[in-house]
Structures are given as structure tokens and as C-alpha cells.
Copies of this chain bind each other. A is one copy, B any other.
Amino acid sequence: MAIKYPNPSMNNSIKQDNHFKSQGMIFEHSLNVSNEYYRSRNVALIYKKPTPVQIVKVDYPKRSSAKIVEAYYQTPSTTDYNGIYKGKYLDYEAKETIKSFFPFKHIFPHQVEHLEKVQKLGGIAFVIIYFRTFNSVIIINIEDFSNLYHNGDRKSISYEKALEIGKEAKLSYSPPINYLSAVDELFKL
């Protein structure tokens, strides 16, 4: 697998904008905290998968701890998050945009394909997008996402279109992103 940044949108960005990175971390962190909330209430068991790292060289400075001294980020084979909710398998990719639309190039084609396969096998599969400008989190069923994605006419989904075909998740204090309520509505669970 190619050695790249885990996020395709970062591969062509020369500048490492720390502000952007830390902002991106906030969305991910909010999702993780929401998943902790769901786990603590036995509502769902959903975890973020670790970023895959190709380990090239390991030192053993002490016998008890291995120190990795050369490694590279790998392209994830699947999506960011998966787990169990209402007895079902649930799988999603989390994305963020500062624009008024979500560019398709920000998601790997094999991730879309993975979500389509999950859906075909009877799982709950979606993309969750944080439109930062609107402070709005929207989940889109992979079926609807794929229709636009494979259409070919457009290279992005506008915020208006996302609102129309998806469901907006409530943002609150606890959980920060109550996206499972939106999942209930969107997938009629």
C-alpha cells in the first residue's frame, strides 16, 4: 500500500496548517466522546480504528519497551469507525469541510466501496460530514451518497443537498454529537 497521509485531503497540501489540524481534531474528538457516552450507557459499542502504520524499524533501548524509530502512515483499508448498534453492524467514515460543499476527492474510492459492501450485507453504512462553516453535522446514507458520487456530473455535495438527502445530528453538551438519533430517523431503526 502506498505511504501517504491517512486522510486523502492532506496528501496534496504542502502546508501543514496547525490550526486546520487542531480543528479537525475537534470533530474527531467530539465523535470519540460521543461514542464513549454511548458505550457507558450500553447503547452502542463503536470505536475509531487506529491509523494504520507501517513499521520499518524498532529499537529495544530497554528490554521492557520497544521503541519504533522508523514508520510511515498507511492508507486505511476501510473506514474510521465501526461497531454494533441495536444488534446491527454499523460502519461510517467521518469527514470535515470548511467549504459550503463536500468535495468527493476528500474520501477514498475504496472507502465508498467498503461502505457500499457493508450496506449490501445488511449493515448500517453512512458518511458523517461536519460542515464547519455552518457548525452542522450531517449523516448521509451510503446509498444516497453513492448515487451522487457515481453520477459523475458533480464533484461535490453542497450543504443544501446534504441537508436534503441526509439528517442533521443534534449538537449538545453530552453527547457532543448525538448522531445515533439521526441514524434512528434516517435508517428507521
Contacts from A to B (Cβ < 8 Å): 3-5, 11, 14, 16, 39, 42, 44-45, 47, 49-53, 55, 60, 63-74, 76-78, 82-91, 114, 117-118, 120-123
Contacts of A42 in B (CB 8 A): 117, 120-121
Q: Which residue of B lies closest to A119 (CB)?
A: B84
20 other A-B residue contacts (CB within 8 Å) besides A14-B63, A67-B70, A88-B89: A4-B65, A44-B121, A45-B114, A45-B123, A47-B77, A47-B78, A50-B51, A50-B53, A50-B74, A53-B55, A68-B68, A68-B73, A83-B89, A84-B89, A84-B122, A87-B88, A87-B89, A87-B123, A88-B88, A89-B89
Q: What separation, in Å, do the CA atoms of A3 and B122 have in the docked complex?
A: 37
A20 CB to nearest B CB, Å? 15
Q: Which residue of B lies closest to A15 (CB)?
A: B63
A5 CB to nearest B CB, Å? 7
Q: Which residue of B lies closest to A51 (CB)?
A: B50
A16 lies within 8 A of B123 (CB): no
If A78-B47, A118-B45 touch, does A72 touch B83 (CB 8 Å cutoff)? no
Contacts of A67 in B (CB 8 A): 70-72
Q: Which residue of B lies closest to A12 (CB)?
A: B64
A72 lies within 8 A of B66 (CB): yes
Contacts of A65 in B (CB 8 A): 3-4, 72
A10 CB to nearest B CB, Å? 9
A170 CB to nearest B CB, Å? 23
Contacts of A74 in B (CB 8 A): 50
A136 CB to nearest B CB, Å? 29
If A50-B51, A78-B47, A122-B87 touch, does A72 touch B68 (CB 8 Å cutoff)? yes
